[in-house]
Amino acid sequence: MPYSDEIEKRRTFAIISHPDAGKTTLTEKLLLFGGAIQVAGAVKSNKTARATASDFMEIERQRGISVATSVMGFEYNGYKINLLDTPGHKDFSEDTYRTLTAVDSVVLVVDCVKGVEEQTEKLMNVCRMRKTPVIVFVNKLDREGKDPFDLLDELEAKLSIKVRPLSWPIGMGTAFKGVYNLYNKSLYLFRSGGLTRTDDVMEIRDLGDAALDRQIGDYANKLREDAELVEGAYDDFDRQTYLAGDLAPVFFGSAVNNFGVKELLDTLTTIAPPPANRATNVRVVESGEKNFTGFVFKIHANLDPRHRDRIAFVRICSGRFERSKFFHHVRLNKDIRFTSPVSFMAMRKSIIDEAYPGDVIGLYDTGVFKIGDTLTEGEKFMFQGIPSFSPEVFKLLVNLDPAKSKQLNKGIAQLTDEGVAQLFTQQQGSRKIVGTVGVLQFDVLQYRLEHEYGARCRFEPLGIHKACWITSESKADMDKFVRFKSDRIAEDKDGNLVFLAESEWALRNMIEATPEITFHFTSEFKREMQNSGPA
């Protein structure tokens, strides 16, 4: 197949939502329609032995929530789909925000009962900032929820984006009969618990057709009235406006019942963008370029606990990736080859020989990768836009089994390399302090340290308001400051000095009192120094 066709056939998108909106369930049903799995797993509960395919970590299976992005690739109707299922809970939003840098479009799931929720708004802000095309899937139509028109008004008001329904629900809750696809003029009849069958779909080009009355009875007139109102109140769907991130098509359905999912997937493959161009600190890389480029947006240790592997997730931006070929690691300024690159189906991995723009591949990592690293065929630049975060919650790491100190140190080092937590070490007492953006991350870290590394620990709260990286043009000034505030100084994993402020007032006072010291509120300044260009 020609290189340009390989690019055009790829669709790389993330599914995002507020917790419990049905995001992971929708992911599962998309995999079913794509033939990537044969039976849907239920989110694990006390009565259920199976878990969703995308929740691959044991703690996810136990709690029934996603705490890490999972990647799934499959073929559908001649397209290569790269689907990334993201965590919904705000405490794991770092993983989601970084994942959004690796996709070309997004499906945003909204619960029809609860409507637009806090995390939905935050995620949409990121998409709008990046001008990422968004399709909205209004879920749980088999429950009594908000009026569809009220939901559309809420979407526009709270998400600050124009919407255009491409399907419309017929009834809701116990009276839910199906949806009418306004995009391809087809009626989809609801059948609880099963995939939509061919005899459940009717082409009805004219809503005045008497066949509509025979199929849905008294609901036909309500559908006609709603469809007329939709056509009058909303502009016609324009793909270019959608691709510009200014218009969100809306679909209605019930993911748990496999309903409304197929038309979502069919339409997404038709209208969603192929791999897009990407900005670097030097130039814009076009997806159609022949030379390979890509960047690391995620690192995961122990994806397969039996093998203690560490995988770097790489989004390919241009060119063709080839197994065992040497590529240039820009930050390290050295050439590396990868003999066992893999594609993903959540935890399952398959060795690949090649991959193309839009694909997400896994590279076994011996410790050479950091989030944001760039791979090229020799050109020296760094991809931009990968966010870094300032921790908001700080706790002291306490070893409960001194005999396992080596395992604990290795474990916390590897897990913080994943970018969901940051590790700071104080020279006074060699205290290890972990900072995250949410308290649930500590539960995940504690669980993984014990079950993946055999290291038992606990986390004790600390009176730290903010971690600030500090630099100075004068070594003497820096040495003086470090001596003066030695009890508040730590080092990050790269040996950079960090000031641990106990309160906002103390931090503001310190900044004013020491103008010779520069305070950086995220570790982004380190990447900026890298972006200035390797020697």
- The mean pLDDT of 299-311, rounded to a whole number, is 72
- Return the structure tokens found at 404: 């396992």
pLDDT one-digit tens code per residue, 198-211: 446 677 778 888 88
Structural contact between residues 275 and 7, judged by C-beta atoms closer than 8 angstroms: yes
* Segment among 147-161, 237-251, 345-359, 465-479 with least mean pLDDT: 345-359
pLDDT of 516 higher than 80: yes
DSSP 427-447: TGGGEEEEEESSTHHHHHHHH
Structural contact between residues 146 and 112, judged by C-beta atoms closer than 8 angstroms: yes
Predicted confidence at residue 49, as pLDDT, reads 38
CA distances from 390 to 326, 435, 437, 515 (A): 35, 8, 7, 22
pLDDT of 82 higher than 60: yes
In this prediction, what percent of the chain has a pLDDT beyond 90? 57
CATH homologous superfamily, domain 3-172+236-271: P-loop containing nucleotide triphosphate hydrolases (3.40.50.300)
Predicted confidence at residue 169, as pLDDT, reads 93
Predicted confidence at residue 198, as pLDDT, reads 46
- Return the structure tokens found at 224: 């006609």
Q: Where are the domains of the chain?
A: 3-172+236-271, 278-376, 393-531
User: What's the fold here for domain 278-376?
Assistant: Rossmann fold (3.40.50)
For 386-425, the three-class secondary structure string (H helix, E strand, C coil) is CCCCCCCEEEEEEECCHHHHHHHHHHHHHHHHCCCCEEEE
Confidence of residue 214 (pLDDT cuts 50, 70, 90): confident
Q: Which residue has the tokens 């009220």?
A: 150
pLDDT one-digit tens code per residue, 169-202: 999 998 998 888 888 888 888 876 554 444 466 7
pTM: 0.81
Domains 3-172+236-271 and 278-376 share a fold: yes
- The mean pLDDT of 483-493, rounded to a whole number, is 92
User: What's the fold here for domain 393-531?
Assistant: Alpha-Beta Plaits (3.30.70)
pLDDT one-digit tens code per residue, 451-487: 889 999 999 999 999 999 999 999 999 999 999 999 9
Comparing C-alpha atoms, which of 109, 125, 118 is closest to residue 24? Answer: 109
Alpha helices in 277-433 (DSSP H): 405-417
pLDDT of 55 higher than 70: no
